[in-house]
Structure 1
Amino acid sequence: MKILVIQQKMIGDVLTSSILFKVIKDEIPNAELHYLINTHTFSVVDNNPFIDKFIYFTKEAESSKKELFKLAKSIRKEKFDVVIDVYSKLSSNIITLFSGAKTKISYHKFYTTSIYTHNVKRHKTASTKAGLAIENRLLLLEPLGIKIATAQPKIYLKEEEITNAKTFLEKNNIHLNKPIYMVSVLGSGLRKTYPFEYMAEVIDTIANQTKGSILFNYIPNQLTEAETVFNLCKPETKKHIKFDVFGKSLREFLAITSHCTAVIGNEGGAINMAKALNINTFAIFSPWIDTATWGTFESNHHINVHLKDYKPELYANKAEKEMKNESLELYKIFKPAFFTDKLKTFLN
């Protein structure tokens, strides 16, 4: 059986959907599994032993109808038996429609039901600690006769990558026998970024409580914003921050993170990747992001904090997504004092 799984766009989505491959291989060992993803997301699924082949949704296919149909045509030539469209947007609708696969699976949407042979309705309430993002993806396997309640994403690093990261940290006077904290100081956008002055308070708490080494997770074009957060920290805190110690690629970041005690900060890709590396996490959710979906595997090792937990009256008769346009104002209300005790308990 030849199966194509489609998951475009964000790194966190691509990582989360990668759970499908091991589950399928466990049930159908001889299945040939292909993964259609955006090129920039490859690093989180590189070296995954359950994925046989990658197909890339390029920037050209994203911006050109001609290139999109060219990609769809090349996929049709692969003669897939099954297409599982997790992304379920116009581009993946077109690819699935022209795939020629006998079995086409995606989520139920009234305007795409004719494209798919199986239209799966999402659950609205999580039944396990895995959360809806994982549970609903696993529902897409039921048309194949595969029923499983939970699965956890995993990132597969090579031993060489882990060793190189260890050497890199030691060369920068970061000792692995002492706590190391990776701080996700910035979100993927302003509406997913905890206010800088509040994040500085969080970092002050980490430094004061642990005396450990603190690394910042940011990319080169976020340097100015990361420096702003750094400058807002107390002088004593700055002594613990190794500002210039970071991976030059996503794989290097992952390898460095694998040596950390915990990842703390804005909910998003870094938090999801840390969980997939079995690293402790403390996630500060944006006021408009749904914890039922993305607050995966919450436990003493994976803590989520959300404004709704402390000010439920603000969400009366509203879903989190309805608050997106109010996120910046809501962030101002969500002061670190709400969860400082919870953070200290986590650090202990």
Structure 2
Amino acid sequence: MNILLIQYKMIGDVLTSTIIAEQLKIIYPDAQIHYLISKTALAVVEGNTAIDKFICVDNKEFDSWRGVFTLARKLKKNNYSISIDAYGKNNSALLSRIVGAVQRIGYKKWFAPWAYTTAIKNSPDPEIYKTGLSLGSRLLLTASLTQNVQWDLLPKIHLSESEKQEGKNWLIENGLDLNSPITMVSALGSSMNKTLPLIYMAQVVDLTVQKTVSRYFSITCLHKKIKLLKYTMLVYLKHKNIFL
């Protein structure tokens, strides 16, 4: 049994949607789960044992109608029994339809009646899901497949031993004491319109430093256009034990 999971981008969404694969492995332990993602997101999900195959595509293959048609014809040969479109865009919906899995699951949108056999309203019950709206909405996509959704599933990054050592070396080279608690905070969004005001975020980080045992905070951002913002935050941050 082959299952196709689609979450093309962004990096955080690709990581978050791995909980769908985890749930699918619980429901169908012998199934082959294929995860369609952007090539740039592979590093954050590589090593996840719930995923049997990564289908890594680039913009040319996924951001044009011709590319989607070509990709879909290739994937159709895998004879998927189930496809789950966690990306929920018109190109992923088109891909789902052409690939033609027996059961096609996606969110309820204007194109859903044409693209999917099962359309899910994206409104998880806050009394049921335990890990927040973002994770709950993804696990909803598996609710039609089982009565025992594991609402407490969390995404994980699986690091190799060499990656762990490389990370330790980087921390040491930058003067951080490995014997002291270290917390990484993604305080800046992936774009300007997804980033809260810097003064506010600086206050949040300052308060968190005061209220936790962490001596060092690493503030990260992934989008090259806003890397300068993290240096601007230095103007507002009061604590010397915050590392950018």
Per the shorter chain, which TM-score range?
A: 0.7 to 0.9
For residues 137 and 241 of structure 1, the distance between their equivalents in structure 2, rounded to whole angstroms, comes to 33
Q: Distance between the aligned counterparts of 2:72 and 2:182, measured in 1? A: 45
**Contact 2:181/2:216, CA 8 A, preserved across alignment:** yes
- The separation in 2 between residues aligned to 1:42 and 1:102, in whole angstroms, is 27
> 2:72–2:99: 8 Å Cα contact kept in structure 1?
yes
1:62 to partner: Cα distance: 3.6
2:4 aligns with 4
- 1:221/1:47 Cα in 2 relative to 1: closer, same or farther (>3 Å)? same
Give the 3-state SS of the residue equivalent to 2:69 in structure 1.
helix
Matches of 2:204 and 2:116 in 1, distance apart? 47
Distance 1:17 1:187, change over 3 A: same
Q: Does 1:212 align with 2:215?
A: yes
Q: CA deviation at 1:156?
A: 1.2
Q: Does 1:166 align with 2:147?
A: no
The letter for the 2-side match of 1:233 is L
3-state SS of paired residue (2:3): strand
Q: Select the residue among 229, 235, 243 that pairs with 2:233.
A: 229
Shifted more, 207-216 versus 40-49: the winner is: 207-216
Specify the structure having the higher radius of gyration (Cα): 1
Measured after TM superposition, the shift of residue 154 of structure 1 is 1.8
Deviation, 1:208, is: 6.1
CA deviations over 1:106-153 (Å, ceiling 9, x no partner): 223354213322223333532232233333332322443453141222
Which residue of 2 is the match for residue 148 of structure 1? 149
Relative distance call for 1:98 and 1:212 in structure 2 (3 A) is same
Aligned-pair CA distance for 1:70: 0.9
Query: TM-score by structure 2 length?
Result: 0.85
C-alpha separation between the residues in 2 aligned to 1:117 and 1:30? 23
Runs of at least 5 residues in structure 1 that lack an aligned partner in the other structure: 244-348
User: Structure 1 counterpart of 2:229, which letter?
Assistant: E
User: What is the rounded CA distance, in whole Å, between the counterparts of 2:112 and 2:218 in structure 1?
Assistant: 45
Q: Is the 8 A contact 2:96 2:115 kept in 1?
A: yes
Cα shift at 1:168: 2.4
2:58 counterpart residue number? 58
Alpha-carbon spacing, 1:147–1:94, altered in 2? closer, same or farther (3 Å): same
Matched AA of 2:134: A
1:276-299 deviation digits (Å, cap 9, x = unpaired): xxxxxxxxxxxxxxxxxxxxxxxx
Q: Distance in 1 between matches of 2:208 and 2:104?
A: 48
Q: CA RMSD in A?
A: 2.5
Alignment of 1:1-348 (within 5 A): 1-126=1-126, 127-145=128-146, 147-150=148-151, 151-205=153-207, 212-219=215-222, 220-234=224-238, 237=239, 239-243=240-244
In 2: Cα distance, 1:142 partner to 1:54 partner = 23
**SS at 2:125 equivalent:** coil
Could you state the TM-score of these two structures normalised by the residue count of structure 1? 0.62
Change (3 A) 1:214 1:26: closer
Structure 2: distance between partners of 1:104 and 1:206: 43
Paired residue type of 2:166: N
Kindly indicate whether the alpha-carbon contact (under 8 Å) linking 1:39 and 1:58 is maintained by their aligned counterparts in 2: yes
Q: Which amino acid aligns with 2:193?
A: R
What amino acid sits opposite 1:31 in the alignment?
A
Query: What is the distance in 2 between the residues matched to 1:103 and 1:199?
Result: 43
What secondary structure does 1:114 align onto? helix
**% same residue:** 36
Give the secondary-structure state (helix, strand or coil) at the position aligned to 2:115. coil
Number of residue pairs matched? Answer: 240
